[in-house]
Amino acid sequence: MQRRQFLIGTSAALALTAAPRLARRAAAAGELRVLNWQGYGTDEAWAVEEFSKANGVKVSHDYFNSEQEMLTKLRTSPGTYDVVLINSTFTQQAQSEGLIQPIDTSKIKNFGDLTPTFRDHAYLNIDGKTYGVAWVWGVTSFAYNTEKITPAPDSIQALWDPKHKGKVGWRDDAVEAVQLTGIATGQDMNNPADMGKIREKLEALKPQVATFWSSEDEWNKYMQAGQFDIAVYWSGSAARSKKAFKLPVEFVVPKEGAIGWFDGLSIAKDAPNAEAAHAFIDYMVDPKFYVPWDTNVGAPASANGKANAQLPEDALNRAVLGNPEVAKRLQFQAPIPDDRKQEWLDLWQEVKTKIAQ
């Protein structure tokens, strides 16, 4: 650019320098950018329309397919996103890398109604500041086809039951695989003492597994097509499979236990529209959004106790996940050190190869 005449070069340089600032100002004036899993609440068309009309802000979305992709997007696109969905076990990492900013909880009107267990959790609150607002929580175990399997299974060992040979679906995720198998072998799922037992149990899935899945859309298609009758799944997604896809499935919290997790909503470090981001997060944790989302579509349990209390008494998120006896069976996910995570990933890749042979 400097090889051309001075005035042209200077004008171009100023234009290029100003472009990001102008884009950020334009975004701040009337656009909110959300980074999330696709189809995970924030992009419900009716909710986007309602929030936009009430706040005069256009809401747009970008999506990720893994937590690592989410972190990469935040690292490589500063100043692009306002609100980001982060699984609680990744919030500390995002904060330590300077990818998210503290949240002014005084601007979150529903903050006081959030269940203290989630609201005040150390994963979301760092050095006296809040970096994530607890949004929803749920369970990972399995769901089954009620037309194909009777009686209803109540044990995680159902995934290894020879009766379901060749009809089991398993998510292609190393951490989840090790944690579920840790529960199945009676260990601390976040730090299993005997990885030999984990390997042996996972390899025993070889005659069981029909296919691996990686997205909610895949799970629904495979279940609908009869490729599997019982499969690892998430509680909120199972509710959506029943309501939105009319699949004859039921979710099970096994007697041995299950994986518990919770997600939070954070604000990106260089958010162009932080004010709208606070308003959007408040809307997302409000019962007026959550209750119709869960009732009409299906969702994980809300971190807002008042929202769960407004659900029908027989709703999964009230009758089952709201049951203290069920809650006692859950092991909640903790951040996994990188070296341990790599060990699990290596193990999972080896096991998958054996299963596929």
Residue type, 243: K
Confidence grade of residue 19 (pLDDT, cut at 50, 70, 90): very low
Do 227 and 342 share a domain, yes or no?
yes
The CA-based angle 164-169-170, given to 5 degrees, is 125
Segments of 111-152 assigned E as strands: 125-126, 129-130, 133-145
Partners of 70 in the beta sheet? none
Q: Which of 76-80, 108-112, 243-247 has the lowest mean pLDDT?
A: 243-247
Q: What is the spatial distance between Cα 342 and Cα 174, in angstroms, rounded to a whole number?
A: 9
Do 312 and 342 share a domain, yes or no?
no
Q: Average per-residue pLDDT in the chain?
A: 91
Do 30 and 127 share a domain, yes or no?
yes
Which of residues 177 and 26 earns the better pLDDT score? Answer: 177
pLDDT at 29: 56
Sign of the CA dihedral running 282, 284, 285, 289: positive
Confidence grade of residue 25 (pLDDT, cut at 50, 70, 90): very low
Residue type, 197: K
pTM of the model: 0.82
Examine residue 1 and state whether it is found in any structural domain, yes or no: no
Do 220 and 307 share a domain, yes or no?
no
Confidence grade of residue 32 (pLDDT, cut at 50, 70, 90): very high
Examine residue 324 and state whether it is found in any structural domain, yes or no: no
pLDDT digits (tens, 9 = 90+) for 109-119: 999 999 999 99
Examine residue 175 and state whether it is found in any structural domain, yes or no: yes
Partners of 59 in the beta sheet? 32
Confidence grade of residue 357 (pLDDT, cut at 50, 70, 90): confident
Compute how many other C-beta atoms are within 10 angstroms of the C-beta atom of residue 288.
Answer: 13
Do 229 and 293 share a domain, yes or no?
no
The answer, yes or no, to whether residue 14 has pLDDT greater than 60, is: no
Do 233 and 335 share a domain, yes or no?
yes
The answer, yes or no, to whether residue 266 has pLDDT greater than 70, is: yes
Do 193 and 267 share a domain, yes or no?
no
Confidence grade of residue 10 (pLDDT, cut at 50, 70, 90): very low
pLDDT digits (tens, 9 = 90+) for 186-203: 999 999 999 999 999 999
Do 255 and 142 share a domain, yes or no?
yes
Compute how many other C-beta atoms are within 10 angstroms of the C-beta atom of residue 111.
Answer: 19
The answer, yes or no, to whether residue 301 has pLDDT greater than 50, is: yes
Examine residue 323 and state whether it is found in any structural domain, yes or no: no
Average pLDDT over residues 231-258: 95
Q: What is the spatial distance between Cα 234 and Cα 338, in angstroms, rounded to a whole number?
A: 24
Do 105 and 175 share a domain, yes or no?
no
pLDDT digits (tens, 9 = 90+) for 38-78: 999 999 999 999 999 999 999 999 999 889 999 999 999 99
Q: Is the peptide bond before 151 cis (omega within 30 degrees of 0)?
A: yes
CATH code for the domain of 336: 3.40.190.10
**SS3 of 203, please?**
helix
Do 93 and 216 share a domain, yes or no?
no
Q: Report the candidate in 261, 123, 259, 139 with the shortest Cα–Cα distance to residue 187.
A: 259
Q: Taking a C-beta distance cutoff of 8 angstroms, is the pair 355, 205 a contact?
A: yes
Determine the structural domain holding residue 267 and report its residue range: 6-136+262-318
The CA-based angle 30-274-35, given to 5 degrees, is 85
The answer, yes or no, to whether residue 3 has pLDDT greater than 80, is: no
Do 130 and 179 share a domain, yes or no?
no
The stretches of the chain forming alpha helices (DSSP H) are 6-30, 45-55, 67-76, 88-96, 116-119, 174-184, 195-203, 216-224, 235-243, 274-284, 287-292, 305-309, 324-327, 338-356
Examine residue 337 and state whether it is found in any structural domain, yes or no: yes
Confidence grade of residue 328 (pLDDT, cut at 50, 70, 90): confident
Do 93 and 46 share a domain, yes or no?
yes
Number of domains making up the chain? 2
Expressed in percent and rounded to 5, the helix, strand and coil fractions of the chain are 45, 20, 35
